[in-house]
Chain A
Amino acid sequence: PKTHRVMTLADHISHIITQDFARNQ
């Protein structure tokens, strides 16, 4: 079973930034 989601540092950073701005909309 797949136990880990792998992503690049850059994608992880982009994901958090998008999430942060969406939350503060």
Chain B
Amino acid sequence: ACPVAPASRSSQEVWDSFSQCFTPAVREVVEFAKSIPGFQSLSQHDQVMLLKSGTFQVLMVRFCSLFDAKERAVTFLNGQTYSLASLRALGMGSLLDAMFDFSEKLGSMGLEPDEMALFMAVVLVSADRSGIVDVGAVEQLQENLIKALRLITSRRPDDSTLFPKLLLRLPDLRTLNNHHSDKLLAFRID
């Protein structure tokens, strides 16, 4: 929902407002995770580790709906639309390009909101396991969620390619994460 500043503001102010808008978005992913059946039966440590390694990827999926790949523009929830060119001033050009490509692919699948939510749950529990203690429990949860995601095939019996195509987005997201989660944010210290 966070507006990127109008042109009149300095790029530092643009940076500040862009950085600020990540905070509520991250909190929403934490709340979303807690609503995933089985997530809260993982240990708190493993919940935190999964969130730390998977939240950026879930955000990338959530932000897809803001990206208009055809128009090369982003529309924030407050209705403000910014062209890719104008957003490049934030110095996130490479991330934005990758986001447009990813959102084009994901968007073309035409998932329903509940299917997108199931996909985001799979994205979260498929995140990097390096800090996880009970890997078995996480893998069981992932298996259950992937089974649930097969919903998209039962809804489209004549399209058996959609499910595998969707799972192929997971490595895309991991690449996005590895390339871009080290982007810098800047917070004013008052």
Contact = CB atoms under 8 A, between A and B. Distances in A.
Nearest 8 A-B pairs (CB), nearest first? A10-B181, A16-B26, A4-B186, A8-B182, A17-B51, A5-B187, A14-B52, A13-B55
Most buried by B among A3, A6, A9: A9
B7 interface: no
A17 B45 CA distance: 11
Given A16-B23, A17-B30, A20-B27, A8 B47 contact: no
B26 A10 contact: no
Interface of B: 12, 19, 22-23, 26-27, 30, 44, 47-48, 51-52, 55-56, 180-189
Contacts of B187: 4-7
Interface residues of A, number: 17
Contacts, number: 64
A17 B182 contact: no
Contacts of A20: 27, 30
14 contacts: A5-B187, A6-B186, A7-B184, A8-B183, A9-B56, A10-B181, A10-B182, A12-B23, A13-B22, A13-B26, A16-B23, A17-B30, A17-B55, A18-B48
Contact of B188 (A3, A13, A14): A3
